[in-house]
Amino acid sequence: MDFLNSIIEKLKELMDDLFVYSKKVNQMDLKYLPNNGLYQLYEKFNQLNKKVYEFGLSIVLLDFQDTTYISDALSKYLKDSVNQKEYSDYFSVLTTAPKRTATREEEIDLFNIITLIKQNKRLTSLFLNKSQKEIMASLPKLYKNIYKKISEHIKKFAYVIYVYEGPALTYSDLILTIKDILTRKIKTENKIREIKKSEKNLVNKQKKYLQRLQPNKYHRDLILLAQNVSFIKYWRREQQSYCYYLIEPLLKVMARRLNISLKQLRFMLTGELEASLGKGQIDLGKINKRMKLCALACESGKSVKLLEGKTAEAFVKNIKKEIINFSAREFMGQTACPGKVKGKVIIVNTPDDMAKMNNGDVLVSFATNPNLMPAIRKASAIITDEGGLTCHAAIVSRELNIPCIVGLKVITKILKDGDLVEVDADRGVVKKI
């Protein structure tokens, strides 16, 4: 346990190094830097990020897909200690860290802004009755205080939905979100109270459950480790998302120098980027083919290979197809947050899918990410292919108290938009109705 905690502390230190460097680069005037200077900045970022991944992924592997060591050990202890009805709640409560994620902080700040807007009838009417464009034009002129708060919100939280490659939260995005929440008549002041009450209840429940369990040192340390591991993975991804957001201006400058798009630049290997910036030559045909299809293949004991073109096509063709029972009507996964609901399935894997989502729908995803939060907030339940104690869906569902089952493997291939399902997250079971 002490060794694992030392890894977590080292990860925090490395993450801080990456963040400080990313912020420094973000504040630099890059216009007059020579090409080799731009590449050196980027290469240093990559080296710092690599160190973060080395320590960060060692933590993830403790509870990822089939290597669920922490979940298995804690699950066995709880199943031996409490009855079946209590198990799901105990597991969910004791694996949740009593800390706020940046996503939750962003949500609270947004609800506070909307609560202020609702105190002004004219301003509320503006959001409800005018177009996005009209609202955006009116705020800086007529409602400077709210405009300032929205601007500060964007400056502070733009990175939250960025993940690996953006886009970041914008002024227009936030106006649409506020308009949607007001239109749906969500009582934001109640939401803020519910969040604070939920946080207090979590701490009280944890104390109560630990008092009842009376765990020995090993099991107490195991519970604390489960909380730290689940939170630290989410925290690390949020911080890396922030760093990717901060470093984007550097990528854009390099792309302009090479006369290519940001997306094309992201498909270049670092060696190719260095050579192109040095010589001014670039193989666009190769990059565009890579954008259409490429794969990273890793065999045990061998180096990672980038496959592209016909080699990638052959590799994909030869991947062993998983046998799926499409006639099955009941599926078992791992409970992330308990509860029971019935609802309509909506498959949401990318931000483009979110437009399909309505209040009360069951969100089904291969794996959720912060950029899917607008859809997640509408969900009555979440079910995912990927699983584990540390996955995004598990952490967010517990934070928002949404019934959630993870680790269903191929559920996105079996269910389709419009299917009706019963989600029994108390037992980790999804039934197709």
Write the burial class of residue 171 (CB in 10 Å: 0-12 exposed, 13-18 middle, 19+ buried). Answer: middle
Taking the CA atoms of 281, 284, 286 and 290 in sequence, report the sign of the dihedral they define. Answer: positive
Q: How many CA atoms lie within 13 A of 238 on its CB side?
A: 23
- Phi/psi of residue 428, each to 5°? 75, 30
**Gap between the Cα atoms of 417 and 185, Å rounded:** 26
Predicted local distance difference test score (pLDDT) of residue 380: 97
Helix (H) or strand (E) segment spanning residue 229: helix 217-258
> What is the reported pTM?
0.90
Predicted local distance difference test score (pLDDT) of residue 9: 92
Parallel, antiparallel or unpaired: strands 305-308 and 362-365: unpaired
**Gap between the Cα atoms of 190 and 397, Å rounded:** 19
What is the total residue count of the chain? 433
Place of tokens 């597991």: 91
Place of tokens 């979590």: 202
**Gap between the Cα atoms of 136 and 172, Å rounded:** 7
Beta bridge partners of 363: 346, 382
Q: How far is CA 118 from CA 85, 112, 132, in A?
A: 42, 10, 17
Which candidate, 193, 229, 210, places its Cα nearest to that of 93?
210
Helix (H, G, I), strand (E, B) or coil at 337: strand
55 alpha carbon, distance to own chain's centre: 19
**Gap between the Cα atoms of 406 and 217, Å rounded:** 29
Q: Assess contact for 233 and 60: CB atoms under 8 A.
A: yes
**Orientation angle between helical segments 102-118 and 188-213, nearest 10 degrees:** 140
Predicted local distance difference test score (pLDDT) of residue 385: 94
Place of tokens 């016909």: 310
Written as tens digits, the pLDDT of the chain (433 aa) is 678 788 889 999 999 999 999 999 999 999 999 999 999 999 999 999 999 999 998 887 777 666 678 888 999 999 999 998 899 999 999 999 999 999 999 999 999 999 999 999 999 999 999 999 999 999 999 999 999 999 999 999 999 999 999 999 999 999 999 999 999 999 999 999 999 999 999 999 999 999 999 999 999 999 998 998 888 989 999 999 999 999 999 999 999 999 999 999 999 999 999 999 998 889 999 999 999 999 998 877 788 899 998 999 999 988 877 788 888 899 999 899 999 999 999 999 999 999 999 999 999 999 999 999 999 999 999 999 987 777 899 999 998 999 999 999 899 999 999 999 999 999 999 999 9
Q: How far is CA 91 from CA 74, 82, 216, 334, in A?
A: 8, 10, 17, 11
Contacts of 14 (CB under 8 A, 6+ apart): 48, 51, 52, 55
**Gap between the Cα atoms of 69 and 355, Å rounded:** 37
